Structures are given as structure tokens and as C-alpha cells.
Amino acid sequence: MTDYAIGDIQGCYDRLRDVLAKVDFSPSRDRLWVAGDLINRGPSSLDTLRYIEGLGSSAVVVLGNHDLHLLAVALGGHQTRKKDTLEEILGAPDHDRLVAWLRQQNLCVHDADRNVLMAHAGVPHIWDVGQALACAREVESVIASDQAQEYFTHMYGNQPECWASELAGMDRWRVITNYFTRMRFIAADGTLELATKESADHAPEGFAPWFEYPRGDDVRIIFGHWAALEGNTGSDRFIALDTGCVWGGALTMMNLDSGEKIHCDC
């Protein structure tokens, strides 16, 4: 069995099938780790969502901000945005089943044997692996529960800007969600800066890319979300897999054991 991790697909279904064909991917023997943003902005979000859902246990999925946006529209009363390509999913006959499946997915996953952790935007240096997983499980349980409507109604927002253990309720859930799905630049104390989306060398004063801070562990972190990095973090430990497929870049997949990266131009 071979495990592969793939960056933001964002509804680019044809490119997904192309890159999987390059390694003769078979769900009967292989697994696909999906680093979030399965859908939205690309041309075939419904086909992509159906395919990943259909992989069953051969898919390891973390939720990205675009995946959460679909759930916020479906469950939280929010409207689609001008550039969204979610209408086909929202009108599909299997819409309810796909939404229910998405609600069961993770914000963060950890492979202890490989010492690898995956989250859509990354993991802040202020959390060790245990705390990151505990925070992820906390919000995942809310998304999967009868509190989901309340959560998605109030999910959006930039406050609080920084984690504090005494936070409770929606403030606590929102900041956890923002770390896992929206983070790029943060301060040394963990304060988020969510406005800047440029490359790593455009950090606002007092902030730096989250992966440039020292950590108290040696875990490798796989993430997507930040297309402007073009797959480069300057470290083999922090593996950026969003190479901007939906923007005309490439779809990138990596063999988790060999580290080989497979690309499909988009």
C-alpha cells in the first residue's frame, strides 16, 4: 500500500484523475490524503466531492476553508459568493449525503508511525501535537453534532485573533477553525494576521509565516491553502502542497514515504 498526499483540488476533477493516473493509483491498495479544499472555484466540484467520498477508507481528508464554506451555505444560512462554483453540489440529488459525509471529516490528522501531521492551513507553533489534535477533535465534534447550525451561522470572523485556553463557545471554536483553515502569518504569541495572502516574504510587521517559528517537537506538517508559496517553505519538515491548480498552476501529490512529488500542470 502506498499513501499519497495531495494539495488543494478545488474542483479540478480532470486534473485530479490525471495526477492519480501517473502513479496508477488504486483505492484497493493505496490511500489518498487530501489536504483540504476539495471543492470550489474549479469547474467540477460535484464530481470531485463524489469521487473522494467514494474512496471510503482509502481517503484521509481534512477540511479546508472552501469545504467549510459549502457547509456554512448548506447549514448556516450563508449565501454563495460571486466566484463560488457550489451550485451543482447544492442542487445535486445526493446533496444531503455528501454534506453529511463532509461533516464527518477531520480538521487535523496525525500518523504517529510516520511522525506526520496534516491540516489544511497548518498548525501554529503554540500547540504541540497533542493540543492540536485535542483542539481539532473539539471542533470536529461540534460540526458533526446538532450544534452544527449554530456553529456555521457564526463561523465567519477574525476574532479572537489569538488562542487562549480560557476561551469558550463560539469564540473558542472560531479561533481553532481559523488556525487550521485560514492561517498564513502569525506573531510569536500566536496572534493571527488573516488579511495578507501574498508570499512568505511579504509578512506584515511583527508577523512571520507560521512555519518559521521554532516548535517544541519534530513532527512533519503537510498543508495546503497557501498557493502563493508555490510549494516552497525552505524546509523539508513543512510540506506545502497547494501549487495553485485552480489558478493555472499545478496539482501536486507526494508519496508520503519516499517524498517524491508528482505534478500535473493545470
What is the tens place of the pLDDT at every residue in 215-238? 999 999 999 999 999 999 999 999
Strand partners, 192: 186
CB neighbours of residue 26 within 10 Å? 11
pLDDT averaged over every residue in the chain: 97
Structural domains in the chain, CATH included, are 3-265 (3.60.21.10)
The tens digit of pLDDT for each residue in 3-58 reads 999 999 999 999 999 999 999 999 999 999 999 999 999 999 999 999 999 999 99
| Angle made by CA atoms 74, 75, 80, in degrees to the nearest 5 | 40
pLDDT bin (cut points 50, 70, 90) of residue 266 is confident
Q: In what order do the strands lie in the sheet with 108-111?
A: 108-111, 116-119, 220-223, 238-240
